[in-house]
Amino acid sequence: MTELQRVALVTGANRGIGLAIARGLAQRGLHVVLGARTEAAAETEAAALTADGLAASAHQLDVTDPVSVARAAADTANQLGRLDVLVCNAGVAIDRGQPASSPDFEKVRATLEVNLLGAWRCCAAAIPEMRKHDYGRIVTITSHLGSITTMADTNVGYRVSKAGLNALTRILAAELDGSGILVNAASPGRTDTRMAYRETDRTPEEAADTPIWLATLPDDGPSGGLFYERKPLAW
């Protein structure tokens, strides 16, 4: 990599929207570290990007494991010299049809562990590295299901996790205001991925457009907003 090349770490980057985001950032000239729960999965997709002439590498990253998260952030900064962009994409949706009045709390706990606490861990690990260069872009991948204005009685654990992620995004954006680190959330909409049960024809590449835009904002870009297709999403 060149001395001034930005470095991005994308969680859950071995398939779907995460992989599309990783490819899009690499096509914009960033060196992208693909994080996945298994090193083999990350290496397979990173190799595909490098075969296309893009700057990419792989790292095992399980967002539910604090040691794995800390190691991924530290190794990225140590090996590549910096960590400029974090895209918190890893997520699960495993409580479809579960009512809030009689939930499966094991599924709720697992959902919060990945979607909210996992993203929070990654942010906490990445921010100190970003502060070293007074620059950072953090994008959390949220959902329209997490919007307070559209709450309903379906996917309750997932909705709560994404609403919490939206709150975390706004809190971090306020805390880091003026530091050179911008924090935003992007809702990609229903996309043709395994998580969405393949019930839509929106491609991961289409869904990746807004997160990629937020991950490369200029210094005067927005922070603390929730975006869907580059437009503010009702909070």
Model pLDDT, residue 9: 99
Residue 43 is assigned to a structural domain of this protein: yes
Q: What is the pLDDT of residue 28?
A: 97
Q: What is the number of domains present in the chain?
A: 1
Q: Per the domain annotation, does 149 fall within a domain?
A: yes
What pLDDT is recorded for position 82?
A: 98
pLDDT score for 194 = 57
The answer to whether residue 28 sits within a structural domain is yes
Full residue range of the structural domain in which residue 44 is found: 7-232
In a domain? residue 85:
yes
Q: Tell me which DSSP letter residue 110 carries.
A: H
Whether 2 is covered by a domain: the verdict is: no
pLDDT at 197: 53
Domain membership of residue 171 (yes or no) is: yes
Residue 177 lies in a domain: yes
CA 202 to chain CA mean position, Å: 19
| pLDDT computed for residue 195 by the predictor | 56
The reported pTM is 0.94
How many residues are recorded in the chain?
235
Structure tokens, 112: 């919060």
Give the model's pLDDT for residue 154. 81
Per residue of the chain (235 residues), give pLDDT as tens: 556 899 999 999 999 999 999 999 999 999 999 999 999 999 999 999 999 999 999 999 999 999 999 999 999 999 999 999 999 999 999 988 888 998 899 999 999 999 999 999 999 999 999 999 999 999 999 998 898 888 888 889 999 999 999 999 999 999 999 999 999 999 987 765 655 555 666 788 888 999 999 999 999 999 999 998 898 887 7
Question: Would you state the pLDDT for residue 235?
Answer: 74
| Within-domain flag for 1 | no
Residues serving a catalytic function are 158
Domain CATH code at residue 181:
3.40.50.720
Q: Strand ranges (DSSP E) for the chain?
A: 7-10, 31-36, 56-60, 85-88, 136-141, 181-186, 226-228, 231-232
Strand order in the sheet with 85-88: 56-60, 31-36, 7-10, 85-88, 136-141, 181-186, 226-228, 231-232
